Amino acid sequence: MESTSIVAKGLDDVIVGDTVLSSVNGEKGELIYRGYNIDELADCSFEQVCHLFLYGDFPSGDQERALRERLAARYMIPKEVVDFICFASIIEPPMATLRTAVSMLSCFLKEARLDNEEELRETALQLIAKIGTIAAAIGRVRKGQLPIAPNVSFGYSKNFLYMCNGEVPEDIVTKTMDTSMVLHMDHGFNASTFTARAVTSSLSDMISAVTAAIGSLKGPLHGGANTAVMKMLMEIGGVENIEPWLEKALKEKKKIMGFGHRVYKVLDPRAKHLKRMSKEWGERAHEKKWFQMSEKLEDLMMEKKGINANVDFYSASTYYTMGFEPDMYTPIFAVARMVGWTAHVIEQLKDNRIMRPEANYVGPIGKKL
């Protein structure tokens, strides 16, 4: 049969739409959120950058406080969702429970009309507020602990840490979580964001879009890489094992988790911040081993393959020394990325056309029964 060539396997270099939300410059190693370089925003609070995405501008102090209160008023999750988390968290991986728990929220939230931006933003606020509570509850049940109700007097990152650990975090811990959340909030048309926009393009609803996005983020080639990085470091065991381990892995043509990127040809600008955080947390926790191992692996990957670390590489050792179990790293990524996903759903609806690529059929034709 006549076959047309595939234009772009994996949609490499294909531009499928406009966005004002974020720009990823792979040559310069630059990430921009609505005009602001990520380096400018790295010290901002969750609420400040969330406001930037959802309302289009950087908030004044009053606007930031107002958003903090609006989110806090929506932190609480229904009892039925808590019950589901208690059941599911002990039998399946946390990203699967997170996906289903977020999907369940459609039982309790009014479906936003797609032509009503206020209603869409209300659903976005509900999802952003509640995914933190869901993720924290999953983490606790996995450790055999009871979920902790949110504290509505706390800002987003502080409350998230409080619900995870059951104690009020020190300011330095909240600050680290704020920075990590900001760095993970959005990243152009990555696989999960594209998934959310593709679901939206058929005029489905926001909860369906972000549920599908969580499913996409779960994979180890995307958000699941941060968990895979920590498991890899644990398997390697020590700095002295890195070189032989890497040589064997590369010989076996294995993908090294936390390295490589479709768009960045230079260092991922988020990795620079996370590397600093990983170093600081290693020193703080008197557990420098994971940072030292990471740095050595980074150097060797550059020497042997010329491939840079990505966002997921240093977030692994940072979260580990902060006390999170590896399987929770991807849910934490999802908590931050919910801001980007919901903003993209709203943007997609403003200038929508159904996403419908073509397939190159390579099977037989003319068969008869």
Active site amino acids = 261, 312
**Shortest Å, Cβ 228 to ligand COA:** 7
How remote is the C-alpha of 54 from its chain's centroid? Answer: 17
Distance CA 185, CA 177 (A): 12
Cβ atoms within 10 Å, residue 135: 28
**Alpha-carbon dihedral sign for residues 315, 280, 235, 252:** positive
Angle in degrees, CA 211, 94, 344, rounded to 5: 30
**Shortest Å, Cβ 220 to ligand COA:** 6
Q: What H or E segment, with its residue span, contains residue 94?
A: helix 94-104
**Shortest Å, Cβ 251 to ligand COA:** 11
**Shortest Å, Cβ 26 to ligand COA:** 10
Nearest residue to ligand COA, using CB? 260
**Between 76 and 302, CB nearer to ligand COA:** 302
**Between 137 and 277, CB nearer to ligand COA:** 277
**Between 24 and 209, CB nearer to ligand COA:** 24
Q: Which residue has the tokens 């700095």?
A: 239
Distance CA 342, CA 215 (A): 15
Per DSSP bridges, beta strands 36-37 and 30-33 are antiparallel
**Between 255 and 289, CB nearer to ligand COA:** 255
And the tokens for 68? 């903090």
Name the CA dihedral angle for 93, 257, 189, 161, rounded to a multiple of 10 degrees. 50
By the criterion CB under 6 A, which residues form the site for ligand COA? 10, 221-222, 225, 255-262, 305, 307, 310-312
**Between 157 and 310, CB nearer to ligand COA:** 310
Distance CA 179, CA 277 (A): 9
